[in-house]
Chain A
Amino acid sequence: MDIFSNLFPISLYEGLAYGLVAIGVYITFRVLSFPDLTVDGSFPLGGAVVSVLIINGVDPWVGTFTAFLAGMCAGLVTSLLNTALRINALLAGILMMVGLYSVNLMIMGRANIPLLREVTVFDEAAGLFGTDTSTTFSIIFMAALIIIVLAILNWLLRTDIGLALRATGDNEQMVRGLGGNTNLTTILGVSMSNGLVALAGAMIAQNQGFADIGMGIGMIVMGLASVIIGEGIFRPRGITGILLAVVGGAFAYRLFLGIALRLGLPPTDLKLVTAVLVVVVLAIPYIRKRLRHEWVPPAARM
């Protein structure tokens, strides 16, 4: 069982870090019904911003927070494309994803920025508690971050504006009819989502010791996989349950990938594995219903 040593703690750490991406994807896809593909660009944007700031001597806490803000700005632009210019949500996200590739390269100046000798938030945080940066510490630190994010979202989604945000994804017509500004809720949700995704990118870059222009490829599929797996395994009810299930889904997904790797799959196969996994998870409910002779409407195309 040697090949599986360390599998659990590493998956746990990755699940927590990528859990932020999953929460972001959950907010857009599930809460807002806004299929936002900006994620593939805002994730490396977070990594790029924090890395450039750190190597230029900026405090890593400030750098990480700036990465979060940069992600929010990316989301702001995506949502404005959709609300102010009436561009289809899917297309707005794709345009941003493509555009952000160049933006990220401009910010980084090159395709890869190593952070190995730099002081990161993990080092700073470990220093505060007088310990070393280890996997265990990374897990605790990420867990604390996730708990803060979940607590804030859990509160926000139960406020008046949060309710309007959730209802926007459920029945936009109704929200407008009740005097809710659905442009505003869309902007709020998409910005928040991309802020969290960029924060994840910043945390991952600092923990792995580099930012790379290609680090965001497939991030949207990964986030979606986590959300769907989480919903499938935990079948949550209520806001709190769903948020926890999404993070749980990210963990399960990472564990699954970890097992695939340890079984000898080359890392380059992982994207295909992820894609197939999502297809399987999405297809299962349909196949089950077909076996029970239930009618299923055709899938949406737009």
Chain B
Amino acid sequence: MGTTGSQNVGRIPIDDNSILRLQEVTKVFCPGTIDEVKALDNINLDIIAEDFITVIGSNGAGKTTLLNIIAGVYPPERGGKLIVNGRDIANLSEHGHARYVGRVYQDPRTGTAAKMTIAENLSLAIMRGQKRGVGTAITKQRKELFRTVLVPLGLGLEDRLTALVGTLSGGQRQALSLVMATMSKPSLLLLDEHTATLDPKTARIVLELTQMVVSREKMTTVMVTHNMELALRFGNRLLMMHKGKIIVDLNHQQRINLTVSDLVDAFEKASGEQFVDDSVLLSSVDPMTRK
């Protein structure tokens, strides 16, 4: 099963604008034990420059594993490749991946350092992909730059550069995470359900900021979400995952008039299973329009 009904499965894409190509990427957790689980099953995917991909799927579908592999938290099984600029980075360390990949995590606490100031957090982010030496971290020029990147958020953070990040609210911290993930312009931005822990109003603000930053910087983005409405509203390409496989891959044309119930139908057709994931259905309320 898994391949039934999807014309897109196993497609080996051929595109020279590929920012990142995943080739035969498989990930098995706890191999050889009774807990063995194939979190990713032979994934082939081309992420094209300026794509904004939304990824949906039930719990355990492999969405987060996919992001972790791309971010280099762990390598894929032998034979799997992650090709960036013609170079396979699959076995590079996580900090090696960071040169290409910026990430905003689900929990605002994961993306920022609480006991350090806003300026210090941003200074850490500005050195993404560079060798960290003994140059002064917070200079006048950098502070100017930090103010310029913080002003568009409209949260007043530009006047609080010396405030400890631990004193910020969850929404403010997530907005800061977003700036930290994008300010040194990595090739790819990963958003891992980055509004899931925020209240609806804050989630809306962070989503608006996300849209603003992504379109302004023309960031190639992969956004994982549990929210089908969001997955349809955002981006230009939609992936649906199930049991470690990409079972639906819709481009902009294909998803333009799609509704949530179309997606559920597509899922059932592609996976050959009834769609029974409460968390996806329940969270299909759109925080962007909810009053």
Contacts and interface: CB of A to CB of B under 8 A. Distances in A.
Question: Do the two shown chains form a genuine complex with each other?
Answer: yes
Contacts of B135: 159-160
A179 B99 contact: yes
A174 interface: yes
Contacts of B136: 158-159
Contacts of A180: 95, 98, 124, 127, 132
Interface string B42-59: 000000000000000000
Nearest to A185: B132
Contacts of A170: 113-116
B218 to A, nearest CB: 21
Given A179-B128, A179-B129, A156 B134 contact: yes
Interface in B96-151: 96, 98-99, 102-103, 105, 109-116, 120-121, 123-125, 127-130, 132-138
Interface string A168-204: 0011011111111110000000000000000000000
Contact of A177 (B94, B114, B127): B94
Given A163-B123, A179-B95, A179-B99, A174 B133 contact: no
A178 B123 contact: no
A167 interface: yes
Contacts of B123: 160, 163
B113 A167 contact: yes
B93 interface: yes
B94 A164 contact: no
Contact of A163 (B98, B102, B124, B130): B124
B134 A159 contact: yes
A178 B121 CA distance: 10
Interface size class of A (residues with CB under 8 A): 20 to 34
Interface string A148-164: 00000000101111111
Prevailing SS type, chain B contact patch: loop
B175 interface: no
Nearest to A165: B132
Contacts of A171: 109-110, 112-114
A178 B134 contact: no
Contacts of A254: none
A178 B133 contact: no
Given A163-B124, A164-B132, A181-B95, A174 B112 contact: yes
A167 B120 CA distance: 9
Nearest to A170: B113
Given A167-B124, A178-B124, A178-B127, A160 B113 contact: no
A181 B94 CA distance: 8
B125 A158 contact: no
Q: Tell which of A162, A175, A179, A180 has the most Cβ of chain B within 10 Å.
A: A179
A161 B111 contact: no
A171 B130 CA distance: 19
Contact of B98 (A158, A160, A176): A176
B180 interface: yes
Contact of B137 (A159, A174, A181): A159
Contacts of A161: 132-134
A175 B134 contact: no
A266 B123 CA distance: 52
B90 interface: no
A173 B99 CA distance: 15
Contact of B110 (A166, A173, A181): A173
Contacts of B134: 156, 159-162
Nearest to A157: B137
17 contacts: A160-B123, A160-B127, A160-B132, A161-B134, A163-B120, A163-B137, A164-B124, A164-B132, A166-B113, A167-B120, A171-B110, A178-B95, A178-B125, A179-B96, A179-B127, A180-B95, A182-B95
Interface of B: 71, 93-96, 98-99, 102-103, 105, 109-116, 120-121, 123-125, 127-130, 132-138, 180
Given A161-B133, A174-B112, 13 more contacts: A158-B136, A159-B137, A160-B123, A160-B134, A164-B127, A167-B113, A167-B120, A171-B110, A175-B95, A177-B103, A178-B128, A179-B128, A181-B93
Q: Sorted from nearest, which 9 A-B pairs have the closest CB atoms? A: A179-B98, A170-B113, A160-B132, A159-B134, A176-B94, A171-B113, A163-B137, A161-B132, A179-B128
